[in-house]
Chains A and B, each alone.
Chain A
């Protein structure tokens, strides 16, 4: 459901532009509001969440889909953990739907999806793995890199059980915003994918913004 936010970018307590191919790992505290802004349009922000007070509790696509009875993420969606507890609630969304079925790109799955010689290209999972390696204090490793959300991606399911990678609904300036229901570590890989028409073969930056609780 499309819903605009009442928060202005000028009142944010934190702003950061994340280039394509980079990761961003940051704690958002309970009550704070977090926004991802699609600066140029149809850019995939592959996103994972962990409980900052117990990082082995993590975002679970299965629990989120099952508990809300819907495969799309949009305004009102409660993002659930693998312990089936609320992590964040989506409070605004100017896109309308986001994917959590398709997972992240990886060098290995790229060989299957596109061509064996595509192995030596940058991929989201490499960014995720570098992020956990460079932030050892969280105690995370490859086992914690589970199924993510692809903010700004549109992946509808057909009545016959097909999965389609449809034209994006996002565009320059669209955003999704969520309120943290617990202290969360946010890990975004701003997707470097060069083989998929979903981003017009052109990975672009996104901006992340955070507002204090009660903003």
Chain B
């Protein structure tokens, strides 16, 4: 395996952001099982280009995200490919927890009383990270919720599946263009856990090889072949 650029662990309820270069890999590990990692993607050169969940879903005829899928921007380009996934089903429809949801489910726990074990929520976490790049609530798109499975029945009813949690589950992303990543580890808004979840997420950033012509993500759907071609044109033409 390539040399690790940076590794760390984060407890639930934290947030961070960083930019990665094309072909950087990000591996997330749900150490104990039951964590949630909410994530958003932006083009650092043009922040109005951002992750688009509807395009990602409809281009690949999928509701869940897993190995072989590509995550699309609103400009028809691929931010990253899911090159491996031992969890199997990640949500990108249910959004974030907010102050009201967290207080209703798990009660209020302020910073004053609980210090850094306060009940931080996902919406506020993203607002803080967005502001670091001059962005606001308007820039908050539908996010990915890694390690959270939400299924849908024939009548359209959604259900969070806690049994999908696996200790040690990993998902690995290969970035197909330079990307600003925003993420937080606040609980999924539909997590039925009786207490505010206290989980550990490990992340590893490392360099890896570029996608080859026979790459599994490129070939997983004809749509993705065209998405990779849009990336090729973008990189051949843009000056950065």
Contacts and interface: CB of A to CB of B under 8 A. Distances in A.
- A, B from the same assembly: yes
Contact of B158 (A58, A70, A103): A70
Interface string B29-61: 000000000000000000010001111011101
B151 A143 contact: no
A82 B98 CA distance: 11
A66 B104 CA distance: 15
A31 interface: no
Contacts of A111: 76, 226, 230
Contacts of A144: 138
B95 to A, nearest CB: 3
A7 interface: no
Given A143-B138, A157-B152, A115 B54 contact: no
Contacts, number: 129
Contacts of A82: 137, 140
B62, B76, B224, B230 — most chain A CB neighbours (10 Å): B76
A108 B76 contact: yes
Interface in A138-175: 141-144, 146-147, 155-159, 161-165
Interface in B90-129: 93-96, 98, 100
Contacts of A15: none
B13 interface: no
Contact of B93 (A62, A109, A143): A62
A127 interface: no
A60 interface: yes
A101 B48 contact: no
B72 interface: yes
Contacts of B54: 61, 101-104, 147
A66 B94 contact: yes
Contacts of B203: none
B89 interface: yes
A106 B61 contact: no
A115 B223 CA distance: 8
A109 B72 contact: yes
A139 to B, nearest CB: 10
B135 to A, nearest CB: 8
B194 interface: no
A161 B154 contact: no
A56 B138 contact: yes
Interface of A: 56, 58, 60-63, 65-66, 69-72, 82, 84, 97, 101-104, 106, 108-113, 115-116, 125, 141-144, 146-147, 155-159, 161-165
Given A65-B93, A71-B156, 17 more contacts: A66-B93, A82-B137, A101-B54, A104-B54, A106-B74, A108-B75, A108-B76, A111-B226, A112-B55, A112-B223, A143-B48, A143-B139, A146-B142, A147-B141, A157-B156, A159-B152, A163-B61
